[in-house]
């Protein structure tokens, strides 16, 4: 049994690399984009806020898998063709930025208006007020919700199968179909559990580090 698991490891690890690539690139790009989305969404310039609302509705309201399909297979019809990985990243970043945007919006709105007024009285520019006063508090408020999304993202990475990219779950399915056994799928489940355990611990650490103003 153990020797069988050992033969599975190389292909599972190869799938894990793709899963982690999708995961980290998406995370690094979509969190900052989410901040921008939340600012646009809260903008007093109505058209911008409305367009952002529409974007959030489309991204959260339709399956991510179909968004990948449209970006990879649909856009070439109008002459925009991406390679597989790029298409997947664009879809994931746009999708997750919408979720992160709403999380940040909730965080920003929970900050007392009085703080803006106080900052104004102290002569801080709106940009500095946001960056130095508001955002640090927002980060600490939204961290639990962000970690929730991050865990979801780990598992959503399996959706890249639709453009044929070989990630963790696909590696498991290949081995499972070849060897006619459930063991590869059990192994894949363990891999996902390990990943989420690592990220849970990491987020607990980050939350502790950001437990300022208390």
Partner 1 sequence: MKGKKIFILFALLVLSIFGLVGCAKKAVSGGESKTVIMGLDDTFAPMGFRDENGELVGFDIDLAREVFGRNGYEVQFQPIDWSMKETELNSGNIDLIWNGYSITEERKEKVAFTDPYLENRQIIITLADSDISSKSDLAGKKVAVQNGSSTLDAIYKEPEIVESFDGGEPVLFDTNHEAFMDLEAGRVDAVVSDEVLARYYIQQKNPEDYRILDEDFGSEEYGIGLRKEDKELLEMINSTLNEMREDGSFDEIYEKWFGDNDK
Binding site for partner 1 (CB under 8 A): 7-8, 10-11, 14, 29, 32-33, 36, 69, 73, 76-77, 80-83, 86, 89-90, 93, 127-128, 131-132, 135, 161-166, 170, 173-180, 182
Give 64 or 135: the residue with its C-beta nearer to partner 1: 135
Shortest Å distance, C-beta 135 to partner 1 = 8
Cα separation of 34 and 101, whole Å?
4
Shortest Å distance, C-beta 7 to partner 1 = 5
Give 125 or 200: the residue with its C-beta nearer to partner 1: 125
Cα separation of 212 and 203, whole Å?
15
Shortest Å distance, C-beta 200 to partner 1 = 26
Give 70 or 200: the residue with its C-beta nearer to partner 1: 70
Give 43 or 196: the residue with its C-beta nearer to partner 1: 43
Give 10 or 204: the residue with its C-beta nearer to partner 1: 10
Give 2 or 77: the residue with its C-beta nearer to partner 1: 77
Write down the residue that tokens 């153990």 correspond to: 2
Q: Are 212 and 141 in contact (CB under 8 A)?
A: no
Cα separation of 28 and 31, whole Å?
6
Shortest Å distance, C-beta 187 to partner 1 = 13
Q: What letter does residue 75 receive in the DSSP assignment?
A: G
Q: Are 149 and 103 in contact (CB under 8 A)?
A: yes
Shortest Å distance, C-beta 109 to partner 1 = 20
Give the CA distances from residue 166 to residues 14, 22, 51, 158, 177, in Å, rounded to whole numbers and listed in that order: 8, 11, 35, 9, 15
Rg (CA), the chain: 21
C-alpha torsion sign, points 51, 26, 147, 173: positive
Shortest Å distance, C-beta 177 to partner 1 = 5
The H or E element spanning position 157 is none
């Amino acid at each position: 049994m153990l020797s069988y698991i050992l033969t599975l490891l190389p292909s599972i690890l190869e799938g894990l690399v793709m899963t982690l690539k999708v995961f980290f690139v998406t995370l690094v790009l979509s969190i900052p984009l989410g901040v921008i989305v939340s600012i646009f969404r809260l903008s007093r310039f109505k058209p911008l806020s409305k367009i952002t609302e529409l974007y959030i509705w489309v991204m959260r309201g339709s399956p991510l898998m179909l968004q990948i399909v449209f970006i990879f297979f649909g856009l070439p019809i109008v002459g925009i063709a991406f390679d597989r990985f790029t298409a997947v990243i664009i879809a994931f970043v746009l999708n997750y930025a919408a979720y992160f945007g709403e999380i940040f919006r909730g965080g920003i709105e929970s900050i007392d208006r009085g703080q803006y007024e106080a900052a104004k009285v102290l002569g801080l520019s709106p940009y500095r007020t946001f960056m130095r006063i508001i955002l640090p508090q927002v980060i600490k408020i939204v961290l639990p919700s962000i970690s929730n999304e991050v865990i979801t993202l780990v598992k959503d990475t399996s959706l890249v199968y639709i453009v044929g990219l070989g990630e963790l779950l696909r590696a498991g399915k290949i081995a499972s179909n070849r060897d006619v056994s459930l063991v590869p799928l059990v192994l894949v489940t363990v891999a996902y559990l390990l990943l989420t355990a690592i990220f849970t611990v990491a987020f607990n650490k980050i939350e502790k580090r950001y437990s300022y103003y208390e």
